[in-house]
């Protein structure tokens, strides 16, 4: 993907990440936590043009709980028409919890795959070994689950090449370039350009930027021919000092920008075709 892809008006895949596994309603009361609540917001985002939903499960207290992924998946299928479900296998969870994301019934069409550990906050570190990553990648390959490769920094991009060389990943590769605090890639335009220039061949890339960087850097990603992820997992505010009312509010804003840039949104089926999802 490149600026030429933008000029050629290739379609853009919009992903919504409605709720993560860290902040909750204490940070923004509009953040959905329970399956039905999540599914209703996903439905609104699908109607606006989101093709993929990135999914986390939470327990009745709002805490991260991979065992709730099945309930969230079921609720999304009940409420939505055809959006692609992408379950998480990430976060600070041990391997036994991570793998739950690809063992729902049925398995999701996609799943995130962190390409290495990272620090988050003052007391959170994700422990993710090469062995764990390879085990998840192989099970995804066996089940036909398309991995979204979560690249939090340059080292993770090196690890992406390593998995490609080991023939554990099938092209086209879908790489999520993540910009934010801590050990994420520093959220600067030049850093995004550098990451995009170093992506492997046969790649599609998606841009995830946290907080106030979400809108400018995803817009830049759209100009570079990439795809976009927005939502309240990554950003709790619509504007500075103004909490987001819903995930749909963030999606709607991005849809307006994408339309102004003269790019069309991919439907779920078009996203499946672009990413090689059977």
How many other CB atoms are there within 10 angstroms of residue 78's CB atom? 11
pLDDT score of 248 more than 90: yes
Q: Give the N- to C-terminal CA distance of the chain in Å, as an integer.
A: 21
Q: Cβ neighbours of residue 8 under 8 Å, at least 6 residues apart?
A: none
What is the average pLDDT value for the chain, to the nearest integer? 94
pLDDT digits (tens, 9 = 90+) for 19-72: 998 899 999 999 999 999 999 999 999 999 999 999 999 999 999 899 999 999
Q: Which of 118, 145, 115, 120 is nearest to 130 (CA)?
A: 115
Q: Cβ neighbours of residue 17 under 8 Å, at least 6 residues apart?
A: 53, 54, 208, 229, 230, 231, 232, 233, 234
pLDDT score, position 278: 86
Question: How big is the chain, counted in residues?
Answer: 278
List the structure tokens of 203.
């790649």
pLDDT digits (tens, 9 = 90+) for 71-96: 999 999 999 999 999 999 987 678 88
pLDDT score of 182 more than 90: no
If you ran DSSP here, which 8-state letter would residue 105 be given?
A: S
pLDDT score, position 1: 65
* Cβ pair 150, 156 in contact under 8 A: yes
Give per-residue burial for 214-231: e unless 16+ CB within 10 Å, then b: bbebbbbbbebbbbbbbb
pLDDT score, position 90: 87
Q: φ and ψ at 121, to 5 degrees? A: 70, -170
pLDDT digits (tens, 9 = 90+) for 198-233: 999 999 999 999 999 999 999 999 999 999 999 999
Between CA 126 and CA 120 the distance in angstroms is: 8
pLDDT score of 122 more than 70: no
Element (H, E) at 87: strand 84-87
The sign of the dihedral angle between the CA atoms of 229, 234, 236, 242 is negative
pLDDT score, position 96: 86
Output the DSSP codes for 127-184. Answer: ---HHHHHHHHHHHHHHTPEEEEEE-SHHHHHHHHHHHHTT-S-SSEEEEEEE-STTS
What ranges make up the beta strands (E) of 166-260?
A: 173-179, 203-209, 227-230, 237-239, 242-243
């Amino acid at each position: 993907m490149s600026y030429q892809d933008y000029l050629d008006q290739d379609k853009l895949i919009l992903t919504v990440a409605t709720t993560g596994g860290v902040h909750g309603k204490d940070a923004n009361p509009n953040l959905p936590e329970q399956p039905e609540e999540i599914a209703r917001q996903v439905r609104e985002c699908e109607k606006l043009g989101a093709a993929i939903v990135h999914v986390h499960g939470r327990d009745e207290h709002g805490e991260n709980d991979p065992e709730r992924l099945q309930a969230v998946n079921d609720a999304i299928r009940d409420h939505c028409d055809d959006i692609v479900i992408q379950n998480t296998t990430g976060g600070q969870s041990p391997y036994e919890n991570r793998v739950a994301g690809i063992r729902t019934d049925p398995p999701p069409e996609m799943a995130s795959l962190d390409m290495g550990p990272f620090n988050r906050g003052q007391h959170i570190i994700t422990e993710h070994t090469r062995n764990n990553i390879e085990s998840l990648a192989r099970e995804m390959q066996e089940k036909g689950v398309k991995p979204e490769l979560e690249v939090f920094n340059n080292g993770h991009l090196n690890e992406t090449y390593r998995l490609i060389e080991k023939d554990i990943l099938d092209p086209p590769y879908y790489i999520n370039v993540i910009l934010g605090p801590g050990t994420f890639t520093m959220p600067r335009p030049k850093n995004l350009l550098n990451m995009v220039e170093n992506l492997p061949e046969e790649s599609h890339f998606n841009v995830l930027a946290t907080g106030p960087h979400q809108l400018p850097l995803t817009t830049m990603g759209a100009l570079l021919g990439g795809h976009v992820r927005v939502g309240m997992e990554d950003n709790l505010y619509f504007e500075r000092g103004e909490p987001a009312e819903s995930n749909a509010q963030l999606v709607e804003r991005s849809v307006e920008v994408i339309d102004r840039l003269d790019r069309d949104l991919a439907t779920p089926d078009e996203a499946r075709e672009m990413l090689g999802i059977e």
